[in-house]
Structure formats: structure tokens, C-alpha cells
Structure 1
């Protein structure tokens, strides 16, 4: 049996939570590697441009993909690690509806 499959002994809810958390960690690792590469490209290109011109400042453009992707990463984090699970929120809402 492959590791991505689960047996009936696993709780499906916990299995999905575990998959979400592993997915977040993979997303975080990719974010860090790609953004480090973008900053290295910026640094080396800034050095090359600086050696040919008298300008001493090149705008740090990697900040834009870092912020945009960071917003998505934060959303992924809250989905994977939120304190209150969707299951508990649904249960609370169901109990409210039952009381009505």
C-alpha cells in the first residue's frame, strides 16, 4: 500500500488534517527556496548594473512576489493549523439550528 493511501483504521478527518499540514510545510519550503532565488537574482543583477552605472540603488523588486505569495501562504497556514476546526464550527452551528 502506498503512503498516500489510508486504511479504514485511520480517522478520515485526522487524515485530511495531516495532509493539509504536510501540504503547508511543502508550500513553505517552496516559498523559501524560490524567494531566496529571486533575492539572489536581484542581488547579482544589482551588482552587475551598479558596476556599469553610477546608480547605487536598484529597487528590490522581489518584495512584490514575496508579499503576494506570502498572503497565499498565510491563508494556507490558517487552513492547515487553525485552532478551531471546520468540523467543530459546523457542529456549533448545527447545535444552534437544533435549538431554534
Structure 2
């Protein structure tokens, strides 16, 4: 018989696994961009190209950082909502 799974921990585990997949995809695709840039910039038709892979890395990196914080630095929404509720209740008593 399989033990009961803690649903909250299972969601955290799924979020962290999804982040790791996202990170791996980011690294593979951006490595490909830099390889493409390297070979294109070595062509005889002109000067060294502008390092365009910086832009997708920056934009996607912002999304990746957001995904990291939601997976590893997340605050329990239930307790956060409870604190906000208590704060509102306390404000209501003062008025």
C-alpha cells in the first residue's frame, strides 16, 4: 500500500521540476544561439556582428528568474491571505 501524498509538497515538487526543465531548455537554446552567432560572425562578408544573443538571454532570463522565485522562494498563499485578512480585520476594529 502506497502512503498518502502530501498535496502541498507535491505541488512544490512539481513547480521545482518544471523550473529545472525550464532552466535546461534556456541553457540549451541560448547555447545554440551563441554557437549560431559564433559561426555567423566568422563569415567573410563583413565585420564582427552585434552580439544579438544577449537580447533573448536577457528577456528569457527575466522570465526564468520569475519562475525560480515562484518555485523556490514562494510564500504559502494561504498563510499570506490569512495575514492580509487579519490585517483588514484589525483595521476594521480601529475604525
Q: TM-score, normalised by structure 2?
A: 0.81
Mind listing any 5+ residue stretches in structure 2 that lack a counterpart? none
Distance 2:39 2:63 in 1: 27
Instruction: Please state how far the C-alpha of 1:98 moved relative to its aligned partner.
Output: 4.8
Mind listing any 5+ residue stretches in structure 1 that lack a counterpart? 1-6
Structure 2 counterpart of 1:26? 21
Aligned-pair RMSD on alpha carbons?
1.9
Distance 1:18 1:98 in 2: 34
Structure 2 counterpart of 1:58? 49
Moved over 6 A (4+): none
RCO higher in structure (CA 8 A, sep ≥6): 1
- 1:64 match: secondary structure: helix
Q: TM-score, normalised by structure 1?
A: 0.78
